[in-house]
Chains A and B, each alone.
Chain A
């Protein structure tokens, strides 16, 4: 039951070899057994899942299977789900039960998916380790062989990634503002794509940085991600930045192959302090693509090194503005404080964790009178230069290949003493958010300590099909079959 890919489970459901009820019950059982150790879910919704599974079985019996009928998924607890508590892993939203459904999750329900529950994350998706969740850290199902110390699953979509890697769900929704889909995918040995900005509607997703946030799937294979994205994506009149374009057949693109494609190798992604095994895996990935018929070309993205610092102006600025809505008046938790201002200040001091407070304060500062031009306006100009780098390079290449993250999963509690040290995790993923281009992480190998490493495929805006084609070719060549020590049925 737990060896299924999402595509495999879908075929078995349609062939009536397994029922949605059996599949859902097995995954709920796995959550019950393993979630106490992983903390991948903040809320589990067994009754809802079983009702949805029954509806899926009825639809299958009628021969009316949708794209995802009967497929059990984990939903990052940043997507509003009607009648199901949505916390953003923050104390301030602990009591919040949305009366509406986010567009992305509504699209999944339209196509017959089963929701197992709400997955843990860094508070308001701000973090790279899942250590900032008000509901406790998530534990990576992978450990170093012979060393039981708990590792982080990455972040911010750490609960989604851990749940998928451990077999608690066949796939999950996630969001990526600076790497929050791709870095946890790399740390947990699974696949995940941040599509082009605008591919998925942001309506009903708790906002962090609106010009960077983008939803995408996590799953154990590239094709499974393609199937999920096909349901999640699409134009939504309720999000003016969602793209009014047809949704291609992403799953078909996985079978295209890479013959004749030109793959760029950005030299700025090479650094002296990159572990040699990551450099070696990158070279191996390029060799696999050449063997499959692609051409690899050295290219330059000169402003890469400024991406991260630019991000840490733009993202906190937008966050400070977006999070102004949490004032203890309309929803969420309130802490009394005498007068109205005192109530605001106490509510936000008690409701937000340390990292969220830091980012709101940085954002407030860079937007404040007298500093706006020096910080925020300058950052927006550098953002334009980062986009220009990508635009120029995509005149000569079809896609880019880079490592996903500068390291494998690290131990819980590591890198917590210095916020900047934690931020450096996102050095390879942030440029795609700054420029809006799609990025996919594919599990490609293990490091010397036995932990998974991902490679990242970046593509042209709205050309996820080429990204999937390259990612699937890498996946076939890598033949990544290692599994975490903690997993369902294992």
Chain B
């Protein structure tokens, strides 16, 4: 499967990364180079194989559903690029 320019543009939009039009062809060539190399996986027979989702071969632990921390709004907001009181501030969304 080879990506056309419209698909590269759509992926960049989905990933929320601005890509200027003149950069698209080079990016398209790089992505197609990587995806072309990945095509080799089509020769592997995976019939009946259960997908492996995680790195740890163990059951995840359960824990009690309870609040264990909190009350640190200043720390949570300390790195915010913009804030208004105890809120993160973003460009206006609703007029």
Interface residues on B, range: 35 or more
Q: Once the chains are docked, how many angstroms separate the CA of A329 from the CA of B83? A: 9
Q: Once the chains are docked, how many angstroms separate the CA of A97 from the CA of B90? A: 21
Q: With A309-B40, A312-B38, A329-B81 as given contacts, are A364 and B14 in contact (CB-CB < 8 Å)?
A: yes
Q: Is the CB of B79 within 8 A of A330?
A: yes
- Flag whether A365 is at the interface (Cβ < 8 A): yes
User: Contact check: which of B31, B33, B46, B93 meets A418 at CB < 8 Å?
Assistant: B33
Q: Is the CB of B33 within 8 A of A97?
A: no
User: Contact check: which of A309, A329, A341, A381 meets B50 at CB < 8 Å?
Assistant: A381
Q: Once the chains are docked, how many angstroms separate the CA of A378 from the CA of B42? A: 8
- Flag whether A461 is at the interface (Cβ < 8 A): yes
Q: Across the interface, which residues of B come within 8 angstroms of A419, CB to CB?
A: 30, 33-34
Q: Once the chains are docked, how many angstroms separate the CA of A327 from the CA of B81? A: 10
Q: Across the interface, which residues of A come within 8 angstroms of B11, CB to CB?
A: 361, 364-365, 368
The chain A residue with its CB closest to the CB of B37 is A420
Residue-wise, chain A 331-345 has the 8 Å CB interface mask toward B (1 for contact) of: 111101111111111
Residue-wise, chain B 29-61 has the 8 Å CB interface mask toward A (1 for contact) of: 011011101101110101001111111111011
Q: Once the chains are docked, how many angstroms separate the CA of A187 from the CA of B15? A: 34
Q: With A320-B15, A340-B91, A381-B49 as given contacts, are A244 and B79 in contact (CB-CB < 8 Å)?
A: no
Q: Is the CB of B41 within 8 A of A378?
A: yes
Q: Across the interface, which residues of B come within 8 angstroms of A420, CB to CB?
A: 33-34, 37
Q: Is the CB of A240 within 8 A of B61?
A: yes
Q: Is the CB of A99 within 8 A of B33?
A: no
The chain A residue with its CB closest to the CB of B45 is A385
Q: Across the interface, which residues of A come within 8 angstroms of B75, CB to CB?
A: 99-100
Q: Is the CB of A344 within 8 A of B16?
A: yes
Q: Across the interface, which residues of B come within 8 angstroms of A378, CB to CB?
A: 41-42, 44, 46
- Flag whether B4 is at the interface (Cβ < 8 A): no
User: Contact check: which of B16, B50, B58, B91 meets A339 at CB < 8 Å?
Assistant: B91
Q: Once the chains are docked, how many angstroms separate the CA of A241 from the CA of B61? A: 8
Contacts A/B (CB < 8 Å), 18 sampled: A100-B75, A198-B56, A210-B55, A212-B55, A306-B44, A312-B37, A330-B80, A331-B81, A348-B16, A349-B19, A357-B17, A361-B15, A368-B14, A382-B46, A384-B52, A433-B55, A436-B57, A461-B57
| Residues of chain B at the chain A interface (Cβ within 8 Å) | 1, 3, 7-8, 11-12, 14-19, 27, 30-31, 33-35, 37-38, 40-42, 44, 46, 49-58, 60-61, 63, 72, 75-76, 78-82, 88, 90-93
Closest 6 CB pairs of A and B: A380-B51, A331-B79, A197-B55, A334-B81, A345-B18, A384-B52
